[in-house]
Amino acid sequence: MIKKSGIMMDINDIIKLSVDQCISIYKEMAAGIHKKDESGHVYGLVSKKFIIKYGFPALAIGYLCLCFSMRLTVRDTSFAEKECMLYYIVNADGMKGLGHSILMITDEEGGGTVFSFNGMQRSLSESFAGKSGVGKLSVGTMDADETEIFLRTGNLCLEGDQLTDNYDMALYRPVTAEDYQMILEQTVPYREAEEKFTVLYGQWIMEENADRKAKYEQALEQMGQDKNLPVYQIYTNNCDHAARKLISSIDPDMQNYIQHTRRITPNGNLKAFGRKAEKWGVMTLGKQSLPEKLLMFLVSF
């Protein structure tokens, strides 16, 4: 801890201030900000060559410092033991290297239920363009032995979108049976929206009358933009947002984190939350490849 102007600051605050300062300087250099003295002499103008030589390396060093500050090491949870368990899990190289988050809860017997939220209505290009659409909450279940193998190896072998893949790191904590049921209840709106969309989509596919088909298509489009539904939006309600919202229904630390988060990737959010929620345990799943280790380290935004 370092004290600045009467405020205690930790290393993350210091590094963030340093990075912000580097960005501010770079913006000034890129904009060619300059001033004149009383004699009219221009000073403060920085050449592009100077920016390339010093500005980019400064930003890179600042970002690497941020990545080092967000590293997580394996640790046990300090929560009291309870009947069930909750896991916030990330696949480091999912979604083109930005990461993919899933949520798993285990019951009193150790059987796991996994939730993975993805886009369903829009193409990848439409999603990257910021278009919202009805999402699909894939759900898979495992018995206690299968759950233990998944946590040991990271290999998830279930039917469903992103449920057959290799996962790399998890934050975990014990929860009560009541918490377990609360999370299940929070998934209902996602599944109801998906079911409604599936029925409507089927009607659109089967309809031969052009006018009625157009009405079904319009209804599908309106549903994909309905703010009252948990629609998928790659920047504001993606796999990681859904996982964190479900967790926040029973965890005060996650509730607080969601209100103040600035990260935009699953990898970045898992690490940032893991740094703040010190009572949560941290575990690796299986053996990470070099590319996975690099992604887990470098993707911190």
In a domain, 77, yes or no: no
pLDDT of residue 265: 86
pLDDT level of residue 13 (50, 70, 90 thresholds): low
pLDDT of residue 130: 82
What is d(CA 207, CA 203) in angstroms, rounded to the nearest whole number? Answer: 6
User: Do 122 and 207 share a domain, yes or no?
Assistant: yes
pLDDT of residue 37: 52
Nearest residue to 163 via CA among 102, 87, 85, 73: 102
3-state DSSP helix/strand/coil % of the chain, to nearest 5: 50, 20, 30
In a domain, 78, yes or no: no
Rounded mean pLDDT, 203-232: 90
User: Do 202 and 53 share a domain, yes or no?
Assistant: no
pLDDT level of residue 252 (50, 70, 90 thresholds): very high
What is d(CA 12, CA 276) in angstroms, rounded to the nearest whole number? Answer: 10
User: Do 40 and 154 share a domain, yes or no?
Assistant: no
Rounded mean pLDDT, 59-73: 73
What letter does residue 80 receive in the DSSP assignment?
P
Question: Which tokens belong to 150?
Answer: 């998944």
Please check the confidence at residue 102 and state whether its pLDDT lies above 50. Answer: yes
Residues whose CB is less than 8 angstroms from the CB of residue 189 and which lie 6 or more positions away in sequence, other chains included: 229, 230
Domain end point (choices 12, 40, 69):
69
User: Do 51 and 131 share a domain, yes or no?
Assistant: no
User: Do 24 and 133 share a domain, yes or no?
Assistant: no
pLDDT in tens, 119-148: 888 877 888 788 888 999 999 999 999 999
Rounded mean pLDDT, 5-22: 50
Question: Which tokens belong to 1?
Answer: 């801890």
pLDDT level of residue 7 (50, 70, 90 thresholds): very low
Please check the confidence at residue 15 and state whether its pLDDT lies above 70. Answer: no
User: What does each C-alpha distance from 282 to 93, 204, 274 come to in angstroms?
Assistant: 18, 46, 7
pLDDT of residue 41: 53
What is the pTM assigned to this prediction? Answer: 0.78
User: Do 50 and 147 share a domain, yes or no?
Assistant: no
User: Do 109 and 49 share a domain, yes or no?
Assistant: no
Rounded mean pLDDT, 66-94: 86
pLDDT of residue 204: 92
Please check the confidence at residue 17 and state whether its pLDDT lies above 90. Answer: no
CA angle 244, 163, 233 (to 5 degrees): 45
Domain end point (choices 17, 44, 69):
69
Q: What is the mean pLDDT of the chain?
A: 82
In a domain, 162, yes or no: yes
User: Do 246 and 158 share a domain, yes or no?
Assistant: yes
280, burial (CB in 10 Å: exposed 0-12, middle 13-18, buried 19+): buried
pLDDT of residue 244: 95
Please check the confidence at residue 12 and state whether its pLDDT lies above 70. Answer: no
User: Do 196 and 237 share a domain, yes or no?
Assistant: yes
In a domain, 79, yes or no: no
Neighbours of 18 (CB within 10 A): 15
In a domain, 98, yes or no: yes
Number of domains in the chain: 2
pLDDT in tens, 259-297: 887 777 888 889 889 888 889 999 999 888 887 777 776
pLDDT in tens, 33-61: 555 555 555 445 555 565 556 566 767 77
CB 272 within 8 A of CB 70: yes
User: Do 46 and 148 share a domain, yes or no?
Assistant: no
Percent of the chain at pLDDT exceeding 70: 76
Residues whose CB is less than 8 angstroms from the CB of residue 128 and which lie 6 or more positions away in sequence, other chains included: 234
Tracing tokens 């999912």 back to the chain, one arrives at 94
In a domain, 176, yes or no: yes
pLDDT of residue 46: 53
User: Do 88 and 63 share a domain, yes or no?
Assistant: no
Nearest residue to 76 via CA among 142, 173, 168, 157: 173
In a domain, 135, yes or no: yes
pLDDT of residue 93: 82
For residue 146, the enclosing domain spans 84-298
What is d(CA 283, CA 286) in angstroms, rounded to the nearest whole number? Answer: 10
User: Do 88 and 173 share a domain, yes or no?
Assistant: yes
